[in-house]
Amino acid sequence: MKPAVAIEVITFDLDNTLWDVDPALLRAEQVQREWLLQHRPGAIDAYDHEGLWEFKKSVWKRHPQLLHNVSQMRIQMLYELQLAAGYAEQESRSGAEKAFDAFLQERHKVVLYEEALGVLEQLAGRYTLGALTNGNADIYKTDAGEYFDFAFLAEDIGASKPHPDMFHAALERSGVEPAQIIHVGDNPEHDIQGAREVGLRTVWMNSQDTEWPGGERADREIANLRQLPGAIASLDTP
């Protein structure tokens, strides 16, 4: 048996782990739509939710190289929407940037779970905290930013969880052994399977009381962040 090592680092997924992402995403989509309606009439007016989704999927198909960059992918979609409506290339480019800025500003207005700040403060007193997200949320734009020592976005790394590069970035940054990191996240594949395969310890955040989809389970499971310090303590065997 390998000797037990003490936990040094806790890495967090962000969306649906520290906050519900849907309210912020819905508002951000709305703000983006309003920007286009006002500044690029005709670009989005004809699309309902379903139609826009189909358009989005067609952009994904044509630009697989952008799959790990949700920001660039959205800008490309906004650009093509305007081109398709007859706007000139330059106008479509600048419109895509501005509509995206409007989106992102709203996207960052996430509401942390009410227990999150207290739990993060408690953990930050003892562990190094990091963020690993496939989305474009910026932890440093939230009230929780002060507790985080590092944050990696998939679009910076060039790969999305469960790809090992995301977890390797945390290992390199913190200079510890894989078993000294606990990764906390809500997605069984991206967060739990991905972290396990690199040798990290794992906590599954299952706030929606969903069924485990199969495969190796996380080391611990929690339904609320309040349970996290206890779960971590039970894995931390110096």
- For Mg ion, the binding residues (CB under 5 A) are 13, 15-16, 186
- Tell me whether residue 213 or residue 238 sits nearer to Mg ion (CB atom): 213
- Tell me how far, at minimum, the Cβ of 18 lies from Mg ion, in Å: 9
- Tell me whether residue 12 or residue 147 sits nearer to Mg ion (CB atom): 12
The dihedral sign for the CA sequence 101, 102, 107, 112: positive
- Tell me how far, at minimum, the Cβ of 89 lies from Mg ion, in Å: 36
Nearest-5° angle of CA 91, CA 96, CA 101? Answer: 130
3-state SS, residue 91? helix
Phi, psi of 23 (to 5 degrees): -60, -45
Residue 95 CA, chain-centre distance (Å), reads: 25
CB atoms within 10 A of CB 157: 18
Peptide bond before 3: cis, by omega within 30 degrees of 0? no
- Tell me whether residue 16 or residue 136 sits nearer to Mg ion (CB atom): 16
- Tell me how far, at minimum, the Cβ of 12 lies from Mg ion, in Å: 9
- Tell me how far, at minimum, the Cβ of 126 lies from Mg ion, in Å: 24
Phi, psi of 107 (to 5 degrees): -60, -30
- Tell me whether residue 75 or residue 184 sits nearer to Mg ion (CB atom): 184
- Tell me whether residue 15 or residue 155 sits nearer to Mg ion (CB atom): 15
DSSP-assigned states of every residue in 60-85: HHH-GGGTT-HHHHHHHHHHHHHHHT
- Tell me how far, at minimum, the Cβ of 133 lies from Mg ion, in Å: 7
